[in-house]
Amino acid sequence: MASQRLTLLSRIKDSDIYFSFIKSPTAIVSSVILVIIFFCSFFVEFVAPFNPFDPSSLSLMEAFTPPSWSEKGMTKYILGTDGQGRDMLSTILYGSRISLIVGFSAILFSLLLGVTLGLTAGYFGGKYEMIVMRLTDVQLTVPSILMALLVDGIARGIISRELHDEMAIYVLIFAIGISEWPQFARVSRAATLVEKNKDYVSASTIIGVSNILIMFKHILPNIMRPVLVIGTIGLALAIIAESTLSFLGVGVPPTTPSLGTLIRIGNDFLFSGEWWITFFPAIFLVLLAFSINLLGDWMRDTLNPKLN
């Protein structure tokens, strides 16, 4: 087992992807930032200095404390506190966890939906393909934020008020996911059209392998590269979409704030001088989205054989 793991490690080290990774400072810096952010967000209970949702740790007396390096700052609140005396750093870390969960789940949902539809459309062709692809065309004419707003509005109409706050996060995942799938469908259909004309697919057909198995065992692994690339860039878009929706007040409720909610809350204080309440979540969001995008760009360049 040990030797196997060693060979796996050496295979990774030997690969072209690893080589291009260590040659690209952008990729290294952005992935280091992402690893730190992911780690802090998922182990937030152990990393964050305070638990902003524990009322006993809040003191209204210390509300609106500026960052520690300014004149009135306190060393224990590095990035200051918000209007309820919550530590900004801790709130941001808790908020980024919500943002990441929503982002990842939404992109996973749209990836599953889009790739399944795109793969089957490309493979079977005919009227089914036409219907699926026209559906993506229609959806691409609607801005994705509008689409998400529409879904959220419908959900609010259907789900009762008490349940809504509980369900908000799932509605959000569905809303963002449903607005992103056409991308995946288009890319995977295009890649499937290329792959299905290759001889290995014919060979499997001649052997007698069923359509389902050909699609998912043979074609799917071969179209994953472009799908992963747009998936990475889509992740940044999904996180931004989540923040946008939360900023507009249709996302997650303020009791479990995400980055977008924090920016919205802070926005109210911006003109009274408490800039840090909105500034730090915003910077954090920019850093997160930017790093994911840079990593996605690097992946696109590395995995795309045409650009090499």
Partner 1 sequence: MSFLKIKNLSVDYKMRRETINAAKNVNIDVNKGEILGLVGESGSGKSTVGNAIINLIDEPGRVSKGSIVLDGIDIHADPQNIVKYRGKKIGLIFQDPQTSLNPILTIGEQLIETIQTHLNLNVDDAKNKAINLLKEVGIKDAETRFDNYPHQFSGGMRQRVVISLALCCEPELLIADEPTTALDVSIQSQILDLIKKLTKERNLAVILITHDMGVIAETADRVAVMKNGDLVEIGPTKELLTKPKEIYTKSLVSSVPPTNKKISRFKIIEKENKKQSDTNIKILNRWVKKEISDKDLVQVESLSKTFDDSFFIESSKNSVMAVNDVSFSIKEGQSFGLVGESGSGKSTIAKMIVNLFKPSSGDIYFNDVCVTKIKSNKEMLKFRKQIQMIFQDPYSSLNGRLKVKDIVSEPIKLHNPSVSSKDLDDYIYDLLESVELTQQSAERYPHEFSGGQRQRISIARALATQPRLLVCDEPTSALDVSIQAQILNLLKDLQEQLNLTILFISHDLPVVRQMCDRIAVLKNGKLCEISNTEDLFIKPKHDYTKELLKLMPKIESIYK
Alpha-carbon span 50 to 72, nearest angstrom: 20
- Provide, rounded to whole angstroms, the least separation between the CB of residue 199 and partner 1: 4
Nearest distance, CB of residue 195 and partner 1, angstroms? 9
Answer for the pair 299, 31: CB distance below 8 angstroms, yes or no. Answer: no
Mark 135-166 as b/e (b = at least 16 C-beta within 10 Å): ebeebeeeebbebbbebbeebeeebeeeeeee
Q: DSSP of 58-71, one letter per residue? A: --GGGTTPPPTTST
Cβ contacts of 40 within 8 Å, gap of 6 or more: 47, 48, 93, 96
- In contact, 73 and 14? CB cutoff 8 Å: no
Q: How many residues in total does the chain contain?
A: 308
DSSP for residue 297: H
Binding site for partner 1 (CB under 8 A): 19, 198-200, 202-209, 218, 221-222
* Structure tokens, 88: 């900004």
Give Rg (Cα) of the chain. Answer: 23
Query: Residue 298 to residues 142, 232, 294, 302, 303: CA-CA distances in angstroms?
Result: 29, 10, 6, 6, 8
As given in the structure block, the two tokens for residue 104 are 């990842």
Measure the CA–CA gap between 97 and 259, rounded to whole angstroms.
9
